[in-house]
Amino acid sequence: MTGQPDREAMDREEIVQLQLERLEATLNRAQRSVPFYQRRFAEAGFDAEGLRSLDDLRRLPFTTKRDLRDNHPYGMFAVPLRDVVRVHASSGTTGLATAVGYTRNDLKTWSDLVARILVAGGVGKDDVVQVAFDYGLFTGAFGFHQGAERLGASVIPVSSASARRQLGIMKDYRSTALVCTPSHAMTLADAAIEAGLKPGTLSLRHGLFGAEPWSESMRADLQAKLKLVATDNYGLSEVGGPGLAGECLDRRGLHVAEDHFLVEVVDPETLAPVPDGTVGELIVTTLTREAMPVVRFRTHDLASLTRVPCACGRTMARMSRVKGRTDDLILVKGARVFPSEIEAVLLEVEGTEPHYEIVLERRHGGDEALVRVEAATPGDENLRGAVERRLASELGVAVAVELVAPRTLPRSEGKARRVIDRRRPDAP
Ligand SMILES: [Zn+2]
């Protein structure tokens, strides 16, 4: 059933007990070896020795991206550099990159966790895994590369390349699993259709897509176009990269590797915990990382949690798809809108393509949004009106729509840049 069944199907009590033991060890190590945490814990009047239950974690302050940056590059490491065998960095989507270190044990754990995600997504030893993430400081490519090797699958480390080259390799090497961002997968799907590749020319069966928020409608579209089963996975470089959570084939939430991470959901404004099922900001504490333990990291990713048992037999809690980032949240005339909600609508309207951008401008003292989307018939006023009406009813607020000709918006070779924010004075 699973990559590590003895772990992934533990009883709830066992999970909580293991988390408590590992949390205690992590906090002790952070307090002892990382001056930043020593200071923070002291300021909060917290002593790691006094940890009694998982709830005690709430007495601790959060760690922010800013904290990691202030201690860049090695200030957050809990081991000397001679014990660090690899350094990666966060992808820097929201500014400067921050370094992330791994001991030999950390690399082994990381491989195991990504192997779990591959297994959960249906990938096995016989699969040929094409990794189309950019190799480099970013954790995505190396994470999946090692995980797939650990599993015994055959890895094709293509890295980023033109759609033509990705498709050529996919065809020649009979790749059965594709690992990349959903937006890049869409670029490949459209390029395959455009090149007239007949269904069946490719051998793809599994798509493991992550590293950016995407929608159910985008999944349906990708599955239909690429003839594969697409699963979502989640991780972030600051706490080690991919491997934190991934969907099983049931595809109703991403199983969190709770034996290695403690995940909380809080209200992004009050920072108070919210109940299961409520969307809030995801907070992650690492439980086994040696080189760089991170306590209550504010991910700024919005999702909810459920501990309801899953049909697949795994007992690990599931997180919802990431609904967006707290800093992606667009306020249009007072309404809270996520780019992923706009995407879901666009994919449902016949006649538009899944390539779009959202331009934000400050006008007449308020924020206004313009959705630019590709359509085969960009001059079609009826279509434009239909998209506007549909968006207004789904989002609860009016946004302007502009139809543009196919292939006029930039294509993603990594993470898609969907929102063009012209509201700030320093914006281009
Ligand atoms: Zn499941």
Chain segment 208-247, per-residue pLDDT in tens: 999 888 889 899 999 999 999 999 999 999 999 999 999 9
The answer to whether position 31 is within a domain reads yes
For residue 239, tell me if it sits in a domain: yes
**Average predicted confidence (pLDDT) for the chain:** 91
d(CA 40, CA 33): 13
How many A from CA of 257 to the centre of ligand 1?
12
Is the predicted pLDDT of residue 154 greater than 70, yes or no? yes
Instruction: Find how far residue 308's CA is from the centre of its chain.
Output: 22
Check residues 92 and 411 and name the one with the higher pLDDT: 411
Determine the residue type at 199. P
The average pLDDT across 233-262 equals 97
Please report the pLDDT score of residue 176 as a whole number.
Answer: 98
* C-alpha 316 to ligand 1 mean position (Å): 8
48: left (phi over 0), alpha (psi -120 to 50) or beta: alpha
For residues 3 and 74, state if they share a domain: yes
- Structural domain includes residue 426: no
- Whether residues 356 and 282 share a domain: the answer is no
Q: How confident is the model at residue 428 (pLDDT cuts 50, 70, 90)?
A: very low
Q: Which residues pair with 402 in a beta bridge?
A: 372
Judge if 338 and 259 occupy the same domain. no
Q: Do 373 and 401 touch, CB atoms closer than 8 A?
A: yes
67 and 114 assigned to the same domain = yes
Distance CA(47)–CA(386), nearest Å, equals 59
Of 135-139, 267-271, 323-327, the one with minimum mean pLDDT is 323-327
Q: What is the pLDDT of residue 328?
A: 72
How many angstroms separate the alpha carbon of residue 259 from the centre of ligand 1?
16
Residues 6+ apart with CB under 8 A from 52: none
**Distance separating alpha carbons of residues 264 and 259, to the nearest angstrom:** 14
Same domain, yes or no: 260 and 341: no
Q: Which of 9-18, 341-350, 402-411 has the lowest mean pLDDT?
A: 341-350
**What pTM was estimated for this model as a whole?**
0.84
In a domain, residue 427? The reply is no
Q: Which pLDDT value is given to residue 165?
A: 97
Domain count, the chain: 2
For the chain, what percent of residues have pLDDT higher than 90? Answer: 74
Give the pLDDT band (50/70/90) at residue 2: low
The answer to the question of residue 428 being in a domain is no
What is d(CA 354, CA 183) in angstroms, rounded to the nearest whole number?
9
Q: How far, in Å, from the CA of 3 to the mean position of ligand 1?
A: 12
- Rounded to an integer, the average pLDDT of 248-254 is 97
pLDDT of residue 320: 97
pLDDT band at 94 (very low <50, low <70, confident <90, very high): low
- Ligand 1 midpoint to CA 5 (Å): 12
Q: What is the pLDDT of residue 369?
A: 85
Indicate the residue among 264, 294, 325 that finishes a domain: 325
* CA terminus-to-terminus distance, the chain: 51
- pLDDT of 345 higher than 90: no
Give distance in angstroms: CA of 253 to centre of ligand 1.
Answer: 8
Statement to judge: residues 288 and 243 lie in one domain? yes
Residues 353-392: tens digit of each pLDDT: 878 898 888 776 667 889 999 999 999 999 999 999 999 8
Residue from 420, 370, 357 nearest 399 by CA:
370
Which residue segment(s) compose the domain that 286 sits in? Answer: 1-325
Q: Are residues 263 and 146 in the same domain?
A: yes
Which pLDDT does position 324 carry in this prediction?
A: 81
Residue 427, pLDDT > 50, answer: no
For residues 348-354, give the mean pLDDT.
85
Least confident of 86-100, 103-117, 239-253, 399-413: 86-100
Q: Are residues 215 and 82 in the same domain?
A: yes
Residue 342 has what pLDDT? 85
* pLDDT, tens digit, 9 for 90 and up, residues 164-205: 999 999 999 999 999 999 999 999 999 999 999 986 799 999
* DSSP secondary structure string for all residues of 123-191: --TT-EEEE-SPPSSSHHHHHHHHHHHHHTPEEE---S--HHHHHHHHHHTT--EEEE-HHHHHHHHHH
User: How much distance in Å is there from the Cα of 269 to the middle of ligand 1?
Assistant: 31
Q: How confident is the model at residue 346 (pLDDT cuts 50, 70, 90)?
A: confident
Distance 19 CA to ligand 1 centre (A): 20
Contacts of 58 (CB under 8 A, 6+ apart): 273
289-327 pLDDT, tens digit each: 999 999 999 999 999 999 999 999 999 999 999 988 887
CATH number for 414: 3.30.300.30
Angle made by CA atoms 259, 265, 269, in degrees to the nearest 5: 150
Between the CA of 249 and the centroid of ligand 1 the distance, in Å, is 7
Q: What is the mean pLDDT of residues 73-94?
A: 89
Distance from the CA of 114 to the center of ligand 1, in angstroms? Answer: 16
How many angstroms does the Cα of residue 8 sit away from the middle of ligand 1?
A: 10
Higher-confidence position of 269 and 162: 162
How close is the Cα of 6 to the center of ligand 1, in Å? 15
Q: Classify residue 228: in a domain, yes or no.
A: yes
User: How many residues in total does the chain contain?
Assistant: 428
Point out the domain boundary residue: 291, 325, 359: 325
pLDDT given for residue 326 in this prediction: 80
- Distance, CA 243 to ligand 1 centroid (Å)? 15
The per-residue pLDDT for 5 is 80
Is the per-residue pLDDT at 39 higher than 90?
yes
